[in-house]
Structure 1
Amino acid sequence: LKANHQSQQFRLEDNLIKRFPEQIEQTKERIRGFEKDMQTLESHPLPKEGFVGMTMGSTQLHDKEAAGKAILDACKAIRGLDPMLIGKYRGLDMYLSLEDFGKTFRMTFKGVMAHPVELGTDARGNLTRIDNALAGLPERLEKQRTMLDNLHAQVAAAKEEVGKPFPQEEELRVKSARLTELNALLNMENERTLAPANQVVEEKNTRPSVLQRLRNTAPNTGSPVPSKPRMEVR
């Protein structure tokens, strides 16, 4: 548990130092990008009647039907997988690309941010998809603002948690002390058990063998042999 607590503390510190600041700055950049692109769209508003116009290559198209057909013609002409700049709409650059191994055509409107739209096979339907996607920028901007608020809340929560001691520190200290005490008692008991056993081994080693005892207790039946008198030689 203590190791997990320490690991969590390290993660919190890393998040406060690196991760959160990076994410906050990236989110702020996206917010600024959406705000800038929305300003661009506001400077090229959709008219209540008629068509706002579209640039395809160097051609200005003021008819909605013609613009829709030009997009389909561009889809037929595109080759390769790299996005290709084909025109401009409401102040944003239009890039056409093939996705899903050539199965899907995607139009990406680029200002500061990129705003992708998947195209279909209907000319008018594609223009409706484009307008709906661009109309969704305020919602996407609001999501980024909510994300920024959440990041700030996470920073505040992390600051409250970082540096907190292990909550079970006192319990761990008491249990560790008790374990040390039990180990000491166990060692003392082992020493007491080993002492008599060592004494038995020592007594066994000093006890005379059976052969030695027999030699010590055997009767001495022999008598000394008298020495013969030495004859004097004359």
Structure 2
Amino acid sequence: MHHLDIGWKPSDLEQREGRIIRQGNHNKKVHIFRYVTESTFDSYMWQLIENKQKFISQIMTSKAPVRSCEDVDEAALSYAEVKALATGNPAVKEKMALDVDVAKLKLLKANHMNNQYRLEDDIARNFPQQIAKLTEIIDSYKADIAHFSEYKITDPEQFSMEISGKVFTEKKEAGAALLAVCKEIKSVDAAMDIGSYQGFNMRIQFDSWSKEFILSVKHESVAKVRLGADALGNITRINNLLESYPEKLAEAEQRLETVQEQMTNAKEEVGKPFPKEEELNQKLERLSELNALLNMDEREDTETEQSESKEKEERPARGSIHEKLQIYKEKSQRESETGKETRKRDFGLE
């Protein structure tokens, strides 16, 4: 396969090569040739294909997805740049590289500024709110742990659970009463108080999304567990839920410590300048010089064209062959008429 020209999209090349790199080809090896002419528009076209393929790869990859990508479809060349490319002007190649670098640095700077605004918002509002909420949760867990220690049933023979105003001393009966209450619930997603167990109030509601019954226990905080079809199993689930409060407390304390560390780090990072600000300014300055250079070349060409046009206007018109013949014909006619008048005078006819 021979690529004699370059398409505008990577898919154009893939479609061509798909005619030779395809399932069912009896040749084990194929050859693909790409032809590029130096100091022509080919270099820009291949660079444009490369930039588009990079953009597509960033979006389509699953290994390291990015949060933002540069749109390459807005790339365009001025007439001066196209002319310079065709003549092999090295300034255009440098300008195209600088355009890409400046666009990336501007994107990095915009992300840096957005990150600074986010840090300021986190320090002023988000982190304090999270810390206050986690502190409240921790205090609630501590109060619930102390309350559970006070009302905890340590003797299995002393089991007691109140359901719908009736006290059950047998786990199996209490479990059956729970299932009976579940059958009585008719409203969806509406919680209903059903009783108490080891100092905690119990509520039941039917979750329409998961199609399950949810039991909540509450003293200071609220904890939830999903009920099953086994009567004794539900009692075990409630006991495990109450026993898990120390673990929930440890998790909340760990989250609080993490948020406090994030707030400390945010205070250290906020206010920092863009680390590549100097590099961006240097490249912007060089890019301005190159743009001025290309515009100067364009102005020189324009002035040359205007000068040539002015010279043409001032130069006497030579005229076409038809115009010359017409002038000669008119001159001959005038000379002929003059000759006739002269002859008439000579013969005394006038």
Q: Which range, TM-score by smaller chain?
A: 0.7 to 0.9
Match of 1:206 in 2: 314
Q: Is the 8 A contact 1:34 1:141 kept in 2?
A: yes
Deviations 1:44-77 (A, max 9, x none): 0222341341222333333333323322332233
Q: Is the 8 A contact 1:54 1:90 kept in 2?
A: yes
- SS of 1:43's equivalent in the other structure is helix
- SS of 1:88's equivalent in the other structure is strand
1:195: how far off?
2.9
Match of 1:161 in 2: 269
Match of 1:228 in 2: none
Match of 1:32 in 2: 139
Which runs of 5 or more residues in structure 2 are unaligned? 1-107, 343-350
Match of 2:223 in 1: 115
Deviations 1:68-121 (A, max 9, x none): 332233223332221111111111111122224694222211122211122223
Structure 2 vs 1, CA of residues 45 and 178 (structure 1 numbering), >3 Å: closer, same or farther?
same
Candidates 153, 160, 169, aligned match of 1:62: 169
Q: TM-score, normalised to structure 1's length?
A: 0.83
Distance in 1 between the 2:294 and 2:223 partners? Answer: 73
Higher RCO structure (Cα 8 Å, ≥6 apart): 1
Structure 2 vs 1, CA of residues 101 and 195 (structure 1 numbering), >3 Å: closer, same or farther?
closer
Q: Kindly report the root-mean-square deviation, in angstroms, between the aligned alpha carbons of the 2 structures.
A: 2.9
For 1:136-147, list aligned pairs within 5 A.
Answer: 136-147=244-255
Distance in 1 between the 2:158 and 2:175 partners? Answer: 11
Letter paired with 2:148: L
1:15 pairs with 2:122: yes
Looking at CA atoms only, which structure, 1 or 2, has the larger radius of gyration? 1
Distance in 1 between the 2:144 and 2:191 partners? Answer: 20
Q: TM-score, normalised to structure 2's length?
A: 0.57
1:174: how far off?
0.9
Which runs of 5 or more residues in structure 1 are unaligned? 226-234
- SS of 1:85's equivalent in the other structure is strand
157-166 vs 61-70, which moves further: 61-70
Distance in 1 between the 2:299 and 2:156 partners? Answer: 102
Match of 1:232 in 2: none
Letter paired with 1:157: N
Identity over aligned pairs, percent: 37
Structure 2 vs 1, CA of residues 197 and 105 (structure 1 numbering), >3 Å: closer, same or farther?
closer
